[in-house]
C-alpha cells in the first residue's frame, strides 16, 4: 500500500487513496483521538503492547472484532478508561495487494456509550453507526445464539431444520447456548433469564424447507434499513441472502428477493411459491382488505425497530398550501394519531408534530 495505493471497491462507491498513509509502526503516528482496533483476535495482545504512543488523555480504543474477549485483553496493556465496546458488520475480502473488495450492502458499526463524538463524526461522513444502551449485552446476545447455531450445524453438516428435529443435535444446540449464557451471566452481562427458551422458540418458528419472499437489499428501504438488521441480529442473513445482492432473483433454494415486495410477497404466498415474508403492517392490512388469504404475525417490540422508522411531512408554498396546512393540523389530533396507530404507526410526540422550517 505504501508503494502503490489503497483502494476499496464497493457497490456503495469506490474509494481510492494514493499515496496511502499507512505504517506498521504506531509510534510514528503519535497521539490520536480514536483507535479503531481491528486485528485478528489472536494478535490482540501483541498489538495492544504497541498502542501507548497513540494515547492521549481522552483517546478511545474501540475493538471491532467478533467474539467478546478483546476489550478485556486490551485492558491488560492500556488503562481501562480508554477501552470501549464495538461491533462491526461488514463483508470484505482482499481482491489484490492494496485492493479491498466490499461484498454486499452490509456496513454498520455499533459503539457503546462514551463514543458520542466518534459516532457523530461517523454520521457526518455517511457511516452507518448505532449506539445501543448496553453494547455488551448486544454483543453477548449475538454471541450466545451463534455459538449454538454454528457449533450444532457445523457438527451435523446440516441446516438448522435438521438440527432441531434430531433430539441429540437439538440438545447440543441448546446446551451450547446455555453454557455460553451461563458464562455471560457469570461475567455480569444482563442476559434475560428466558433467553435460551426464547431463542429455541424462535428456532421452532422456522421449518426446514420454509420458502421466504423478502424485500431486496438493493433498493427497498424496508430491507436496507430495518429487515436486514433483524435478520443479522438473529444470525439469519447469510441463510436468506446466500451472499447475493440482487432483486427479482433466487438467492437460495428457499428464498426469493422481490422487486416490489408489498405486491409480490402476498401474491407469492397465495400462489404457493413462498410461505412467508417481511412487509410493512399497512401492506398486510391492505392484502387482507383485498380479500387475500394471508395471515399477519407482528414482530415483538425488540425486533420491530418501530422507534427507528420516521417519516417527514411538510407543506409546500403552492396554490394548495391552505389544504396542506389543514391536513397537518389534522395529523396533530388524537383521531389522526389513533388512525395511524391502527396501521402500525407509533404515536408522534408533541415536539415531532410541531412544524418547523427546513434549514
Residue 210's pLDDT is 64
Asked if pLDDT for residue 107 goes beyond 80, the answer is no
- The confidence band for 284, taking pLDDT boundaries of 50, 70 and 90, is confident
Looking at residue 58, its pLDDT comes to: 94
pLDDT beyond 90 at 275 = no
Question: Is the separation of the CB atoms in 116 and 24 below 8 Å?
Answer: no
User: Which pLDDT score is estimated for 333?
Assistant: 92
Q: Alpha-carbon dihedral of residues 178, 180, 186, 190, nearest 10 degrees?
A: -80
Nearest alpha carbon to residue 6 among 121, 105, 97? 97
> How does residue 97 score in pLDDT terms, banded at 50, 70 and 90?
confident
| Distance in angstroms (rounded) separating the CA atoms of residues 130 and 109 | 6
- Give the rounded distance of the alpha carbon of 320 from its chain centre: 41
pLDDT at 207 over 60: no
Higher per-residue confidence, 342 vs 182: 182
The C-alpha angle with vertex 215 and arms to 210 and 220, in degrees rounded to 5, equals: 170
What single string gives the DSSP state of each residue in 313-335?
----SSTTHHHHHHHHHHHTSHH
- Average pLDDT score, the chain: 85
Residue 8 above 70 pLDDT? yes
Which region holds residue 251: left if phi is over 0, alpha if psi is between -120 and 50, else beta? Answer: alpha
DSSP conformation letters of 32-84 = -SEEEE-S-GGGHHHHHTT-GGG--TT-EEEE--SSS-HHHHHHTTS-GGGB-
Please report the pLDDT score of residue 148 as a whole number. Answer: 87
For the stretch 155-204, pLDDT in tens is 887 777 788 888 999 999 999 999 999 999 999 999 999 999 988 887 77
- Residue 341 — pLDDT band, cuts 50, 70, 90? confident
CB 73 within 8 A of CB 43: no
pLDDT in tens, 312-323: 888 888 888 899
User: How are beta strands 212-214 and 255-257 bridged, if at all?
Assistant: parallel
pLDDT at residue 235 in the model: 75
104: left (phi over 0), alpha (psi -120 to 50) or beta: left
Q: Which residues contact 297 (CB under 8 A, 6 or more apart)?
A: none
pLDDT at position 272: 75
Averaged pLDDT, 230-239: 80
Alpha-carbon span 209 to 139, nearest angstrom: 29
User: Strand, coil or helix: what is 129?
Assistant: strand
Residue 309 has pLDDT above 80, yes or no: no
Confidence at residue 45, expressed as pLDDT on a 0 to 100 scale: 92
Q: What is the pLDDT of residue 103?
A: 63
Pick from 243, 241, 240, 248: which is nearest to 219 by CA?
Answer: 248
User: Is residue 88 pLDDT above 90, yes or no?
Assistant: no
In which band, very low, low, confident or very high, does the pLDDT at 61 lie, cut at 50, 70 and 90? Answer: very high
Residue with cell 400462489: 271
Instruction: Look at residues 168, 176, 303 and name the one whose alpha carbon lies nearest to residue 236.
Output: 303
Burial of 216-226, coded b for 16+ CB within 10 Å and e otherwise, reads bbbebebbbeb
The pLDDT of 280-290, averaged and rounded, is 84
Cell output for 82: 480508554
Q: Model confidence over 130-147: pLDDT tens digits? A: 898 888 887 888 788 878
How high is the pLDDT of residue 205?
A: 64
Least confident range of 31-40, 47-56, 256-265: 256-265
Query: Helix (H, G, I), strand (E, B), or coil: what is residue 220?
Result: coil
Q: How far apart are CA 30 and CA 33, in angstroms?
A: 10
State phi, psi for 93 to the nearest 5 degrees: -155, 160
Give pLDDT, residue 154: 80
Is the Cβ–Cβ distance between 254 and 210 less than 8 Å? Answer: yes
Of residues 37 and 232, more confidence is placed in: 37
What CA–CA distance (Å, rounded) separates 229 from 303?
9
Amino acid at each position: 500500500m505504501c508503494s502503490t495505493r489503497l483502494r476499496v471497491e464497493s457497490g456503495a462507491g469506490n474509494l481510492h487513496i494514493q499515496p496511502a498513509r499507512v505504517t506498521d509502526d504506531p509510534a510514528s503516528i503519535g497521539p490520536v483521538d480514536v483507535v479503531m482496533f481491528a486485528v485478528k483476535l489472536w494478535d490482540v495482545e501483541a498489538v495492544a503492547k504497541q498502542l501507548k504512543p497513540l494515547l492521549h488523555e481522552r483517546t478511545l480504543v474501540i475493538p471491532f472484532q467478533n467474539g467478546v474477549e478483546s476489550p478485556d485483553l486490551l485492558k491488560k496493556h492500556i488503562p481501562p478508561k480508554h477501552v470501549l465496546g464495538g461491533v462491526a458488520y461488514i463483508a470484505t475480502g482482499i481482491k489484490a495487494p492494496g485492493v479491498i473488495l466490499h461484498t454486499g450492502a452490509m456496513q454498520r458499526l455499533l459503539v457503546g456509550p462514551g463514543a458520542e463524538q466518534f459516532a457523530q463524526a461517523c454520521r457526518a461522513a455517511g457511516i452507518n453507526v448505532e449506539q445501543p444502551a448496553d453494547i455488551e449485552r448486544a454483543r453477548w446476545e449475538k454471541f450466545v445464539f451463534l455459538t449454538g447455531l454454528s457449533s450444532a450445524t457445523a457438527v451435523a453438516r446440516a441446516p438448522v431444520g435438521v438440527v432441531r428435529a434430531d433430539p441429540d443435535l437439538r440438545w447440543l444446540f441448546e446446551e451450547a447456548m446455555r453454557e455460553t449464557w451461563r458464562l455471560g451471566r457469570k461475567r455480569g452481562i444482563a442476559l434475560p433469564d428466558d433467553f435460551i427458551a426464547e431463542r429455541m422458540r424462535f428456532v421452532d418458528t422456522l421449518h426446514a424447507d420454509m420458502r421466504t419472499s423478502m424485500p431486496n437489499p438493493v433498493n427497498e428501504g424496508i430491507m436496507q434499513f430495518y429487515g436486514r438488521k433483524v435478520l443479522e441480529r438473529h444470525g439469519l442473513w447469510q441463510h436468506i441472502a446466500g451472499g447475493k445482492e440482487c432483486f427479482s432473483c433466487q438467492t437460495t433454494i428457499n428464498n426469493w428477493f422481490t422487486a416490489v415486495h408489498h405486491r409480490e410477497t402476498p401474491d407469492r404466498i397465495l400462489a404457493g411459491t413462498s410461505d412467508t415474508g417481511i412487509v410493512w403492517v399497512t401492506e398486510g392490512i391492505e392484502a387482507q382488505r383485498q380479500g387475500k388469504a394471508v395471515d399477519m404475525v407482528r414482530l415483538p417490540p425488540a425486533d420491530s425497530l418501530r422507534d427507528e422508522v420516521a417519516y417527514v411531512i411538510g407543506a409546500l408554498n403552492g396554490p394548495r398550501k391552505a389544504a396542506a396546512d389543514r391536513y397537518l393540523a389534522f395529523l396533530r389530533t388524537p383521531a389522526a394519531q389513533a388512525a395511524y396507530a391502527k396501521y402500525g404507526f407509533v404515536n408522534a410526540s408533541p415536539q415531532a408534530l410541531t412544524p418547523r422550517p427546513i434549514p
